[in-house]
Protein backbone atom coordinates (compact mmCIF):
# COMPACT_ATOMS: atom_id res chain seq x y z
CA UNK A 1 0.00 0.00 0.00
CA UNK A 2 1.49 3.35 -0.99
CA UNK A 3 1.75 6.33 1.30
CA UNK A 4 -1.28 8.09 -0.08
CA UNK A 5 -3.41 4.97 0.33
CA UNK A 6 -2.17 4.47 3.93
CA UNK A 7 -2.97 8.08 4.80
CA UNK A 8 -6.42 7.80 3.24
CA UNK A 9 -7.11 4.54 5.09
CA UNK A 10 -6.08 6.00 8.44
CA UNK A 11 -8.12 9.12 7.84
CA UNK A 12 -11.11 6.96 7.08
CA UNK A 13 -10.57 4.89 10.22
CA UNK A 14 -10.19 8.03 12.33
CA UNK A 15 -13.32 9.48 10.82
CA UNK A 16 -15.27 6.32 11.56
CA UNK A 17 -13.92 6.18 15.10
CA UNK A 18 -14.83 9.83 15.65
CA UNK A 19 -18.33 9.28 14.19
CA UNK A 20 -18.82 6.25 16.40
CA UNK A 21 -17.72 8.16 19.50
CA UNK A 22 -19.90 11.13 18.54
CA UNK A 23 -22.87 8.84 17.98
CA UNK A 24 -22.33 7.17 21.33
CA UNK A 25 -22.09 10.55 23.09
CA UNK A 26 -25.23 11.76 21.29
CA UNK A 27 -27.11 8.62 22.26
CA UNK A 28 -25.98 8.93 25.88
CA UNK A 29 -26.91 12.61 26.01
CA UNK A 30 -30.25 11.82 24.41
CA UNK A 31 -30.96 9.17 27.03
CA UNK A 32 -29.98 11.57 29.79
CA UNK A 33 -32.23 14.25 28.29
CA UNK A 34 -35.12 11.82 28.12
CA UNK A 35 -34.52 10.76 31.70
CA UNK A 36 -34.31 14.35 32.93
CA UNK A 37 -37.36 15.24 30.87
CA UNK A 38 -39.28 12.45 32.50
CA UNK A 39 -38.27 13.78 35.90
CA UNK A 40 -39.31 17.39 35.18
CA UNK A 41 -42.54 17.01 33.16
CA UNK A 42 -45.04 19.57 34.54
CA UNK A 43 -48.45 17.94 34.96
CA UNK A 44 -51.26 19.85 33.29
CA UNK A 45 -53.32 19.68 36.47
CA UNK A 46 -50.99 22.01 38.36
CA UNK A 47 -52.40 25.53 38.90
CA UNK A 48 -51.18 28.35 36.69
CA UNK A 49 -48.44 30.58 37.99
CA UNK A 50 -49.59 33.35 40.30
CA UNK A 51 -49.99 36.85 38.91
CA UNK A 52 -46.73 38.79 39.06
CA UNK A 53 -46.52 41.14 42.01
CA UNK A 54 -47.63 44.71 41.33
CA UNK A 55 -46.51 47.94 42.84
CA UNK A 56 -48.80 50.11 44.92
CA UNK A 57 -49.17 52.53 41.99
CA UNK A 58 -49.97 49.74 39.54
CA UNK A 59 -52.55 48.29 41.91
CA UNK A 60 -54.08 51.72 42.45
CA UNK A 61 -54.35 52.26 38.67
CA UNK A 62 -55.89 48.81 38.13
CA UNK A 63 -58.47 49.39 40.85
CA UNK A 64 -59.34 52.85 39.49
CA UNK A 65 -59.79 51.46 35.96
CA UNK A 66 -62.03 48.62 37.14
CA UNK A 67 -64.15 50.96 39.24
CA UNK A 68 -64.43 53.41 36.35
CA UNK A 69 -65.55 50.51 34.12
CA UNK A 70 -68.13 49.60 36.75
CA UNK A 71 -69.40 53.19 36.81
CA UNK A 72 -69.74 53.13 32.99
CA UNK A 73 -71.82 49.96 33.24
CA UNK A 74 -73.85 51.64 35.97
CA UNK A 75 -74.74 54.39 33.49
CA UNK A 76 -75.99 51.75 31.08
CA UNK A 77 -78.03 50.43 34.01
CA UNK A 78 -79.34 53.94 34.71
CA UNK A 79 -80.26 54.38 31.04
CA UNK A 80 -82.20 51.12 30.92
CA UNK A 81 -83.90 51.94 34.22
CA UNK A 82 -84.92 55.31 32.80
CA UNK A 83 -86.33 53.56 29.72
CA UNK A 84 -88.29 51.25 32.02
CA UNK A 85 -89.65 54.22 33.98
CA UNK A 86 -90.76 55.94 30.79
CA UNK A 87 -92.11 52.66 29.39
CA UNK A 88 -94.18 51.99 32.49
CA UNK A 89 -95.68 55.47 32.32
CA UNK A 90 -96.54 54.93 28.64
CA UNK A 91 -97.97 51.47 29.37
CA UNK A 92 -100.15 52.92 32.14
CA UNK A 93 -101.63 55.40 29.66
CA UNK A 94 -102.22 52.65 27.11
CA UNK A 95 -103.89 50.45 29.70
CA UNK A 96 -106.14 53.39 30.57
CA UNK A 97 -106.94 53.78 26.86
CA UNK A 98 -107.69 50.04 26.62
CA UNK A 99 -110.16 50.29 29.50
CA UNK A 100 -111.85 53.35 27.98
CA UNK A 101 -112.07 51.66 24.58
CA UNK A 102 -113.42 48.45 26.15
CA UNK A 103 -116.17 50.46 27.82
CA UNK A 104 -116.90 52.22 24.52
CA UNK A 105 -117.20 48.93 22.64
CA UNK A 106 -119.54 47.58 25.31
CA UNK A 107 -121.77 50.64 25.03
CA UNK A 108 -121.83 50.44 21.22
CA UNK A 109 -122.65 46.75 21.34
CA UNK A 110 -125.61 47.51 23.57
CA UNK A 111 -126.79 50.29 21.24
CA UNK A 112 -126.54 48.09 18.16
CA UNK A 113 -128.51 45.34 19.90
CA UNK A 114 -131.19 47.77 21.04
CA UNK A 115 -131.65 49.14 17.52
CA UNK A 116 -131.92 45.64 16.13
CA UNK A 117 -134.45 44.65 18.76
CA UNK A 118 -136.56 47.75 18.13
CA UNK A 119 -136.68 47.12 14.40
CA UNK A 120 -137.50 43.46 14.92
CA UNK A 121 -140.40 44.43 17.13
CA UNK A 122 -141.57 46.84 14.41
CA UNK A 123 -141.29 44.01 11.86
CA UNK A 124 -139.07 46.22 9.71
CA UNK A 125 -135.84 44.30 10.26
CA UNK A 126 -134.69 42.00 7.49
CA UNK A 127 -133.52 38.41 7.95
CA UNK A 128 -129.81 39.23 8.39
CA UNK A 129 -130.43 41.91 11.02
CA UNK A 130 -132.63 39.54 13.03
CA UNK A 131 -129.43 37.80 14.05
CA UNK A 132 -129.06 40.55 16.69
CA UNK A 133 -131.81 39.00 18.76
CA UNK A 134 -130.52 35.45 18.59
CA UNK A 135 -128.83 33.88 21.59
CA UNK A 136 -125.50 33.91 19.72
CA UNK A 137 -125.10 37.69 19.56
CA UNK A 138 -121.32 37.38 19.81
CA UNK A 139 -121.28 35.09 16.79
CA UNK A 140 -123.22 37.60 14.78
CA UNK A 141 -121.07 40.54 15.79
CA UNK A 142 -117.92 38.65 14.77
CA UNK A 143 -119.39 38.34 11.28
CA UNK A 144 -120.83 41.83 11.14
CA UNK A 145 -119.04 42.61 7.86
CA UNK A 146 -121.40 40.19 6.09
CA UNK A 147 -124.45 42.26 6.89
CA UNK A 148 -125.28 44.12 3.70
CA UNK A 149 -129.03 44.84 3.76
CA UNK A 150 -129.52 46.95 6.88
CA UNK A 151 -130.60 50.55 6.57
CA UNK A 152 -128.08 53.33 6.08
CA UNK A 153 -128.19 54.39 9.73
CA UNK A 154 -127.80 50.85 10.96
CA UNK A 155 -124.92 50.22 8.57
CA UNK A 156 -123.10 53.30 9.84
CA UNK A 157 -123.57 52.16 13.44
CA UNK A 158 -122.27 48.69 12.64
CA UNK A 159 -119.23 50.11 10.87
CA UNK A 160 -118.49 52.33 13.85
CA UNK A 161 -118.75 49.30 16.08
CA UNK A 162 -116.38 47.35 13.86
CA UNK A 163 -113.86 50.21 13.93
CA UNK A 164 -114.13 50.48 17.70
CA UNK A 165 -113.41 46.75 18.01
CA UNK A 166 -110.40 47.08 15.70
CA UNK A 167 -109.07 50.02 17.73
CA UNK A 168 -109.47 48.02 20.92
CA UNK A 169 -107.55 45.08 19.46
CA UNK A 170 -104.75 47.39 18.31
CA UNK A 171 -104.49 49.02 21.76
CA UNK A 172 -104.43 45.64 23.49
CA UNK A 173 -101.71 44.38 21.16
CA UNK A 174 -99.62 47.52 21.68
CA UNK A 175 -99.94 47.24 25.46
CA UNK A 176 -98.95 43.57 25.35
CA UNK A 177 -95.91 44.42 23.21
CA UNK A 178 -94.85 47.18 25.61
CA UNK A 179 -95.18 44.80 28.55
CA UNK A 180 -92.97 42.23 26.79
CA UNK A 181 -90.34 44.91 26.10
CA UNK A 182 -90.37 45.96 29.74
CA UNK A 183 -89.91 42.35 30.83
CA UNK A 184 -86.82 42.06 28.60
CA UNK A 185 -85.42 45.33 29.94
CA UNK A 186 -85.84 44.07 33.50
CA UNK A 187 -83.68 41.09 32.52
CA UNK A 188 -81.15 43.50 31.01
CA UNK A 189 -80.98 45.35 34.33
CA UNK A 190 -80.06 42.14 36.14
CA UNK A 191 -77.38 41.40 33.54
CA UNK A 192 -75.85 44.88 33.88
CA UNK A 193 -75.88 44.61 37.67
CA UNK A 194 -73.94 41.36 37.40
CA UNK A 195 -71.41 42.87 34.98
CA UNK A 196 -70.78 45.84 37.27
CA UNK A 197 -70.45 43.58 40.30
CA UNK A 198 -67.84 41.48 38.48
CA UNK A 199 -65.73 44.58 37.81
CA UNK A 200 -65.89 45.52 41.49
CA UNK A 201 -65.06 41.96 42.53
CA UNK A 202 -61.93 42.08 40.35
CA UNK A 203 -60.95 45.37 41.96
CA UNK A 204 -61.40 43.79 45.39
CA UNK A 205 -59.24 40.83 44.36
CA UNK A 206 -56.45 43.23 43.46
CA UNK A 207 -56.79 44.77 46.92
CA UNK A 208 -56.74 41.44 48.73
CA UNK A 209 -53.41 40.54 47.11
CA UNK A 210 -51.81 43.56 48.77
CA UNK A 211 -50.47 43.82 52.26
CA UNK A 212 -52.25 45.91 54.87
CA UNK A 213 -49.51 48.54 54.52
CA UNK A 214 -49.96 48.68 50.73
CA UNK A 215 -53.73 49.04 51.07
CA UNK A 216 -53.22 51.85 53.57
CA UNK A 217 -50.87 53.60 51.16
CA UNK A 218 -53.47 53.43 48.39
CA UNK A 219 -56.19 54.81 50.66
CA UNK A 220 -53.91 57.64 51.81
CA UNK A 221 -52.91 58.47 48.23
CA UNK A 222 -56.56 58.60 47.16
CA UNK A 223 -57.47 60.86 50.08
CA UNK A 224 -54.60 63.23 49.37
CA UNK A 225 -55.46 63.39 45.66
CA UNK A 226 -59.13 64.09 46.44
CA UNK A 227 -58.20 66.77 48.96
CA UNK A 228 -55.90 68.51 46.46
CA UNK A 229 -58.51 68.31 43.70
CA UNK A 230 -61.24 69.69 45.94
CA UNK A 231 -59.08 72.54 47.18
CA UNK A 232 -58.07 73.49 43.63
CA UNK A 233 -61.64 73.11 42.40
CA UNK A 234 -63.09 75.23 45.19
CA UNK A 235 -60.61 78.01 44.49
CA UNK A 236 -61.31 77.85 40.75
CA UNK A 237 -65.04 77.88 41.37
CA UNK A 238 -64.81 80.95 43.62
CA UNK A 239 -62.81 82.79 40.98
CA UNK A 240 -65.29 81.82 38.27
CA UNK A 241 -68.25 82.95 40.38
CA UNK A 242 -66.69 86.40 40.79
CA UNK A 243 -66.08 86.86 37.09
CA UNK A 244 -68.81 84.84 35.34
CA UNK A 245 -71.77 86.60 33.78
CA UNK A 246 -73.87 83.52 34.60
CA UNK A 247 -73.03 83.56 38.30
CA UNK A 248 -76.62 84.34 39.31
CA UNK A 249 -78.48 82.23 36.73
CA UNK A 250 -80.04 78.77 36.93
CA UNK A 251 -76.72 77.13 36.09
CA UNK A 252 -75.01 78.73 39.07
CA UNK A 253 -77.84 77.61 41.35
CA UNK A 254 -77.61 74.06 39.97
CA UNK A 255 -73.87 74.16 40.63
CA UNK A 256 -74.52 75.33 44.20
CA UNK A 257 -76.69 72.25 44.72
CA UNK A 258 -73.85 70.03 43.45
CA UNK A 259 -71.35 71.75 45.75
CA UNK A 260 -73.54 70.93 48.74
CA UNK A 261 -73.10 67.22 47.92
CA UNK A 262 -69.28 67.25 47.91
CA UNK A 263 -67.91 64.35 49.93
CA UNK A 264 -71.05 62.22 49.67
CA UNK A 265 -70.47 58.66 48.40
CA UNK A 266 -71.00 57.20 44.96
CA UNK A 267 -74.01 54.85 44.88
CA UNK A 268 -75.19 52.86 41.85
CA UNK A 269 -78.25 54.59 40.40
CA UNK A 270 -78.04 57.02 43.31
CA UNK A 271 -80.06 60.22 43.15
CA UNK A 272 -79.69 61.42 46.74
CA UNK A 273 -80.15 62.46 49.30
CA UNK A 274 -77.02 60.75 50.66
CA UNK A 275 -75.54 58.94 47.65
CA UNK A 276 -75.13 59.67 43.96
CA UNK A 277 -74.09 58.39 40.59
CA UNK A 278 -72.94 60.93 38.00
CA UNK A 279 -76.25 61.46 36.20
CA UNK A 280 -78.26 61.28 39.42
CA UNK A 281 -76.26 64.23 40.75
CA UNK A 282 -76.71 66.36 37.62
CA UNK A 283 -80.38 65.40 37.35
CA UNK A 284 -81.13 66.55 40.90
CA UNK A 285 -78.91 69.63 40.60
CA UNK A 286 -80.90 70.91 37.63
CA UNK A 287 -84.12 69.62 39.12
CA UNK A 288 -83.52 71.96 42.06
CA UNK A 289 -84.07 74.89 39.67
CA UNK A 290 -87.10 73.41 37.94
CA UNK A 291 -85.42 71.75 34.96
CA UNK A 292 -86.34 68.08 34.42
CA UNK A 293 -83.62 65.71 33.19
CA UNK A 294 -83.60 61.92 32.76
CA UNK A 295 -81.45 59.80 35.05
CA UNK A 296 -78.95 58.80 32.36
CA UNK A 297 -75.76 60.44 31.08
CA UNK A 298 -76.51 59.31 27.53
CA UNK A 299 -80.05 60.69 27.59
CA UNK A 300 -78.96 63.95 29.24
CA UNK A 301 -76.57 64.45 26.34
CA UNK A 302 -79.63 64.82 24.10
CA UNK A 303 -81.21 67.53 26.25
CA UNK A 304 -80.58 71.27 26.19
CA UNK A 305 -78.46 72.97 23.57
CA UNK A 306 -74.86 72.15 22.59
CA UNK A 307 -72.15 74.36 24.07
CA UNK A 308 -68.61 74.78 22.76
CA UNK A 309 -65.88 73.98 25.26
CA UNK A 310 -64.64 77.56 25.00
CA UNK A 311 -68.12 78.88 25.91
CA UNK A 312 -68.79 76.80 29.03
CA UNK A 313 -70.73 78.53 31.80
CA UNK A 314 -71.38 77.57 35.43
CA UNK A 315 -73.76 74.63 35.68
CA UNK A 316 -73.34 73.37 32.11
CA UNK A 317 -73.32 69.60 31.75
CA UNK A 318 -69.98 68.21 30.59
CA UNK A 319 -69.84 64.69 29.10
CA UNK A 320 -66.97 62.21 28.94
CA UNK A 321 -65.84 58.95 27.30
CA UNK A 322 -66.82 57.52 23.94
CA UNK A 323 -70.40 56.37 24.08
CA UNK A 324 -71.18 59.01 26.75
CA UNK A 325 -70.82 57.08 29.99
CA UNK A 326 -70.08 59.94 32.39
CA UNK A 327 -71.30 63.46 33.14
CA UNK A 328 -70.27 66.27 35.48
CA UNK A 329 -71.43 69.83 36.16
CA UNK A 330 -69.17 72.70 35.16
CA UNK A 331 -67.70 74.60 38.11
CA UNK A 332 -65.55 77.15 36.25
CA UNK A 333 -61.90 77.44 35.21
CA UNK A 334 -61.72 73.98 33.65
CA UNK A 335 -63.22 72.13 36.62
CA UNK A 336 -66.31 69.97 37.05
CA UNK A 337 -68.04 68.44 40.05
CA UNK A 338 -68.94 64.79 39.54
CA UNK A 339 -69.71 61.49 41.27
CA UNK A 340 -66.75 59.43 40.00
CA UNK A 341 -67.17 55.69 40.61
CA UNK A 342 -67.74 53.09 43.34
CA UNK A 343 -65.44 53.62 46.29
CA UNK A 344 -65.18 57.38 45.73
CA UNK A 345 -67.19 60.46 46.68
CA UNK A 346 -68.55 63.52 44.93
CA UNK A 347 -65.54 65.70 44.11
CA UNK A 348 -63.99 68.31 41.83
CA UNK A 349 -61.87 67.19 38.89
CA UNK A 350 -60.20 68.89 35.95
CA UNK A 351 -62.00 68.39 32.65
CA UNK A 352 -58.66 67.51 31.06
CA UNK A 353 -58.32 64.42 33.27
CA UNK A 354 -61.06 62.56 31.34
CA UNK A 355 -61.80 62.10 27.61
CA UNK A 356 -64.03 65.10 26.81
CA UNK A 357 -66.99 64.44 24.48
CA UNK A 358 -69.12 67.57 24.61
CA UNK A 359 -71.32 69.84 26.72
CA UNK A 360 -74.98 70.83 26.97
CA UNK A 361 -76.81 73.72 28.61
CA UNK A 362 -80.17 72.58 30.06
CA UNK A 363 -83.14 74.85 30.57
Dist CA 278 CA 326 (whole Å): 6
Q: Count Cβ neighbours within 10 Å for each residue of 137-164 and write b for 16 or more, e otherwise.
A: eeebbeebeebeebeeebeebbeebeeb
How far, in whole angstroms, is CA 268 from its chain's centroid?
12
Kindly report the three-state secondary structure assignment for every residue of the chain. CCHHHHHHHHHHHHHHHHHHHHHHHHHHHHHHHHHHHHHCCCCCCCCCCCCCCCCHHHHHHHHHHHHHHHHHHHHHHHHHHHHHHHHHHHHHHHHHHHHHHHHHHHHHHHHHHHHHHHHHHCCCCCCCHHHHHCCCHHHHHHCHHHCCCCCHHHHHHHHHHHHHHHHHHHHHHHHHHHHHHHHHHHHHHHHHHHHHHHHHHHHHHHHHCCCHHHHHHHHHHHHHHHHHHHHHHHHHHHHHHHHCCCCCCHHHHHHHHHHCCCCCEECCCCECCCCECHHHHHHHHHHCCCCCCCCCHHHHCCCCEECCHHHCCCCCEEEECCCCCEEEEEEECCEEEECCCCCCECEEEEHHHCCEEEEEECC
Determine the Cα–Cα distance for residues 198 and 344; give it in Å rounded to an integer. 18
Active-site choice (21, 173, 326, 341): 326
Catalytic (active site) residue 338: yes
Catalytic residue among 16, 278, 295, 341: 278
**Rounded distance between C-alpha atoms, residue 282 and residue 360, angstroms:** 12
| 326 is annotated as an active-site residue | yes
Which entry of 16, 295, 338, 341 is annotated as an active-site residue? Answer: 338
Question: Which amino acids are annotated catalytic?
Answer: 278, 326, 338
Amino acid sequence: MNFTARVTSRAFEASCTTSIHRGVRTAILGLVSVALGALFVVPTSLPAAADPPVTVEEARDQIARLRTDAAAIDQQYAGVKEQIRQGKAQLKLKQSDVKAQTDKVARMKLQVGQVALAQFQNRSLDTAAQLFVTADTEGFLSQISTVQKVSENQNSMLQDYQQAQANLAALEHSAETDLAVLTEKEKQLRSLTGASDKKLARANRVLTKLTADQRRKIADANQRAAARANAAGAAASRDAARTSVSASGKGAKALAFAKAQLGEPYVRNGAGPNGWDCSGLTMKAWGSVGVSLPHSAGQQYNRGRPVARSDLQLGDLVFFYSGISHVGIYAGNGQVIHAPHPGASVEYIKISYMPYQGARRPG
